[in-house]
């Protein structure tokens, strides 16, 4: 008779022994070590990423403060050179010259109403140079008079006269000026006009205003200048450079040294 072997529970246990407690503990320690390693790498990555982001923001902020900044065009006063919605790069390194388009801080109530105040988040991005400033006191115009220059409007052909020389300005939206004026720019100041003269509140519009001296508000102090507009960056179909223009190349220097106070021979009664 054949003998059939029947496996008991003891035999199964011998064949497939349960892991001992030390083995289970070792496995648990390995998993814990793996988890700690992952967390360590994640923290290290986050730290490095934070350093990179903060460093980039610091560099961007320094570039914005000392090198260049982007501004949006909010009005039609510089048309057709600049139109509403243009985004313009302004560099802060070079010294502005006659004919340059510049951004400057409002020298004295040129802006009729304050603009929208930016929120805290936008203010951070503005400081970092990520978005253009939503500023209430920046103005953009073209320099037509340097310190000591005599600027008058107009000759028989309707052109500006700077230091006795008629200037042809082909970029204007219309006439050189509908307001007659004749001024000498004081030391440390600029005389500025918009390219859309009929729709621009500029130096002509403030010759009647008094501050520390007669007509002073009409002239932009050099220390209020932010920088010179050099490139239309956006929209792409309007990409263009705003370099120095040859229209003012042959104009002689004005009075040297420039007078401390402005001379306003005509235009003091004008308003815009």
Catalytic residues: 77, 141
On the 0-12 / 13-18 / 19+ scale of CB atoms within 10 A, 116 is exposed
Q: Show the tokens assigned to 141.
A: 């115009």
Other Cβ atoms less than 10 A from the Cβ of 199: the count is: 15
On the 0-12 / 13-18 / 19+ scale of CB atoms within 10 A, 228 is buried
What are the angstrom distances between the C-alpha of 138 and each of 3, 72, 110, 175, 253? 106, 10, 10, 25, 28
Beta strands in the chain (DSSP E): 68-72, 87-91, 101-105, 138-145, 150-153, 160-162, 165-167, 181-184, 189-193, 220-221, 225-234, 240-241, 263-266
Other Cβ atoms less than 10 A from the Cβ of 260: the count is: 9
Cα–Cα distance, 194 to 105 (Å, whole number)? 15
Place of tokens 């529970």: 9
Q: Which of 117, 107, 87, 56 is nearest to 211 (CA)?
A: 107
């Amino acid at each position: 008779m054949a003998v059939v072997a029947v496996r008991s529970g003891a035999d199964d246990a011998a064949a497939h022994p349960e892991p001992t407690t030390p083995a289970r503990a070792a496995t648990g320690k390995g998993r814990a070590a793996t988890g700690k390693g992952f967390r360590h790498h994640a923290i290290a990555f986050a730290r490095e990423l934070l350093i990179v982001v903060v460093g980039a923001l610091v560099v961007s902020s320094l570039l914005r403060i000392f090198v260049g900044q982007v501004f949006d065009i909010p009005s039609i006063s510089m048309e057709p050179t600049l139109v509403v919605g243009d985004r313009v790069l302004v560099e802060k390194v070079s010294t502005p010259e006659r004919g340059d388009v510049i951004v400057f801080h409002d020298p004295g109530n040129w802006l009729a109403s304050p603009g929208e105040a930016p929120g805290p988040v936008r203010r951070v991005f503005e400081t970092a140079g990520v978005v253009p400033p939503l500023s209430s006191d920046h103005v953009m115009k073209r320099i037509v008079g340097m310190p000591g220059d005599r600027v008058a409007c107009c000759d028989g052909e309707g052109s500006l006269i700077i230091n006795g020389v008629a200037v042809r300005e082909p970029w204007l939206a219309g006439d050189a000026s509908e307001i007659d004026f004749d001024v000498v720019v004081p030391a440390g100041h600029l005389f500025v006009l918009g390219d859309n003269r009929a729709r621009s509140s500029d130096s002509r519009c403030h010759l009647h205003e008094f501050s520390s001296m007669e007509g002073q508000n009409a002239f932009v102090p050099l220390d209020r200048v932010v920088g010179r507009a050099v490139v239309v960056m956006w929209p792409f179909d309007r990409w263009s450079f705003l370099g120095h223009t040859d229209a003012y190349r042959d104009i002689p220097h004005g009075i040297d040294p420039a007078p401390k106070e402005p001379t306003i021979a005509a235009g003091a009664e004008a308003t815009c």
